[in-house]
């Protein structure tokens, strides 16, 4: 029996962690009793009143779209991108930027307040003067028919072909469109995740805004030889002729079932296998799989704030936990007596060592090990540091690591976070060890999305 749909008027109560609106409506069941229906509605704003249609109102939860905005938020604006309503890359282009920043500040305040900290310690989020074309890295996906684009909102099976992207660097988008045209001209197939067949999987584009160097990486299921040789030569000719800034053009073989941008074998089609980027006056080598901050303008602000909060001194030793390729390590190492960096990804540690050498930094020691056991090794080798900096992944450092940090008693801790919720639960672990949260500074690295970074300062009570 097919359930007939119903139309409701819904008040948007708040936004969830993916930026969609949440609302509750009531209906009567067949016995006349009231039943609650929880709705998830994308592309709406808090406090708006909207009309929605629900296919199956007998469910307890339903995701739907707003048919009509009955009462609009005063900060609602028209989205500039033609793909906004379908593409999953941005969720808040319909919100004035000042409103986005306030929402992010509130998120951080709520997160630390939930763990017993004073929300007044949170400063206003630092935004961008121009919140467009800020990304220096994008990963596009090929549809089965060879079209190049991004996933549809909430549907990783469907690819939205792109004509533009307003958050990526302009030259990056232009290069991606040349690859898309090349794919269509040669009628190349995209990868079918279900059938595990097809040639092209992803296109990764990254560019240094400091040096201008551009990298293109094509992830494919076959090597670029045999029948593909002439086709690939045409790609090289198109790219090198139009984009002299391309210093790395790669063909990356990936036959794995996992739908991730990894490579079993890398073929350099033109240039080298890395590009140069810069941060805080230091030069870094960036490979296709190197983690490097994707918003260089705001990443520089992260470094500046971390240095200001950390107050490094030339007589001190410090630890950089989750150090990656040394983005924070090098600026701090220049200001302290000795720095030890810990990172579980061996290739990142090799890059950190090379980056330190390239920049004439000789007071660093980098260890490839997980955070908890690596911290044991560094503490045994160098003793208690004066300063500890950590920049963990979205999942946070975890209770065991945070308690180990607390027991080691560094005088000052600077925690850089990309997830306010895991950040708050992590620093709660330090309270019992005598640490006091002094300040939290949110920074917007991803305008028009829900994500927010923050830098915080904790000190051991005297």
Location of structure tokens 């390729």: 325
CA distance 65 to 450: 19
- The answer to whether the CB of 292 falls within 8 A of the CB of 341 is no
Neighbours of 390 (CB within 10 A): 24
Q: Say if residues 22 and 39 touch (Cβ distance below 8 Å).
A: yes
Q: Which of 90, 323, 418, 454 is catalytic?
A: 418
- Nearest alpha carbon to residue 400 among 418, 382, 375: 375
Residue 159: how many other CB atoms lie within 10 Å:
21
> Phi first, then psi: what are they for 197, rounded to 5°?
-145, 165
DSSP 4: P
What is the phi/psi pair of residue 67, to 5°? -75, -35
Q: For residue 2, how many other CB atoms are within 10 A of its CB? A: 6
Whole-angstrom Cα distance, residue 380 to residue 396? 24
The verdict on whether 165 is a catalytic residue reads no
Q: Are strands 137-142 and 364-368 parallel, antiparallel or unpaired?
A: unpaired
String of DSSP letters for 362-405: -SEEEEES-HHHHHHHHHHHH-S-SEEEE---TT-S-HHHHHHH
Structure tokens at 63: 């995701």
> What Rg, from alpha-carbon coordinates, does the chain have?
24
Closest CA to 133 of 411, 448, 347, 388: 448
How many beta carbons lie within 10 A of that of residue 45, not counting itself?
Answer: 22
Separation of alpha carbons 400 and 264, rounded Å: 34
- What is the phi/psi pair of residue 40, to 5°? -115, 125
Take residue 307 and report the two structure tokens written for it. 């240095």
Active site residues: 418
């Amino acid at each position: 029996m097919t359930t007939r749909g119903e139309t409701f008027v819904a008040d948007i109560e708040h936004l969830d962690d993916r930026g969609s609106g949440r609302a509750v409506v009531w209906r009567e069941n067949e016995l006349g009793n009231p039943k609650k229906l929880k709705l998830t509605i994308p592309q709406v704003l808090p406090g708006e009143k909207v009309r929605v249609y629900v296919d199956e109102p007998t469910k307890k939860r339903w995701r739907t779209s707003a048919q009509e905005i009955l009462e609009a938020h005063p900060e609602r604006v028209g989205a500039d991108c033609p793909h906004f309503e379908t593409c999953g890359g941005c969720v808040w282009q319909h919100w004035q930027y000042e409103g986005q920043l306030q929402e992010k500040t509130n998120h951080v305040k709520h997160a630390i307040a939930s763990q017993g900290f004073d929300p007044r310690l949170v400063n206003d989020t630092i935004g961008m003067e121009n919140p467009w074309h800020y990304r220096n890295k994008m990963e596009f996906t090929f549809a089965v028919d060879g079209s190049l684009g991004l996933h549809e909102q909430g549907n990783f099976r469907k690819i939205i072909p792109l004509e533009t992207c307003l958050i990526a660097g302009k030259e990056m988008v232009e290069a991606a469109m040349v690859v898309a045209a090349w794919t269509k001209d040669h009628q190349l197939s995209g990868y079918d995740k279900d059938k595990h067949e097809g040639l092209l999987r992803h296109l990764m584009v990254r560019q240094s805004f400091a040096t201008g160097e551009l990298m293109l990486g094509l992830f494919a299921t076959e090597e670029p030889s045999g029948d593909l040789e002439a086709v690939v030569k045409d790609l090289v000719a198109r790219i090198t002729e139009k984009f002299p800034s391309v210093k790395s053009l790669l063909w990356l073989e990936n036959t794995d079932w996992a739908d991730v941008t990894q490579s079993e074998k890398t073929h350099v089609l033109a240039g080298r296998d890395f590009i140069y980027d810069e941060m805080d006056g230091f030069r870094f080598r960036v490979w296709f799989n190197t983690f490097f901050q994707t918003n260089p303008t705001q990443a520089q602000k992260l470094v500046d704030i971390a240095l200001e909060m950390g107050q490094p001194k030339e007589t001190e030793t410090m630890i950089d936990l989750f150090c990656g390729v040394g983005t924070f390590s090098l600026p701090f190492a220049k200001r302290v007596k000795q720095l030890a960096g810990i990172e579980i990804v061996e290739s990142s540690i090799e890059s950190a060592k090379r980056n330190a050498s390239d920049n004439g930094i000789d007071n660093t020691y980098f260890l490839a090990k997980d955070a908890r056991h690596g911290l044991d090794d560094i503490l045994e080798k160098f003793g208690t540091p004066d300063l500890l900096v950590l920049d963990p992944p979205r999942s946070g450092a975890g209770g065991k690591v945070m308690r180990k940090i607390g027991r080691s008693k560094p005088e000052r801790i600077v925690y850089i976070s990309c997830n306010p919720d895991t950040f708050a639960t992590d620093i709660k672990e330090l309270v019992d060890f005598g640490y006091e949260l002094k300040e939290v500074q949110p920074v917007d690295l991803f305008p028009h999305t829900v994500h927010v970074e923050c830098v915080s300062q904790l000190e051991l009570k005297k």
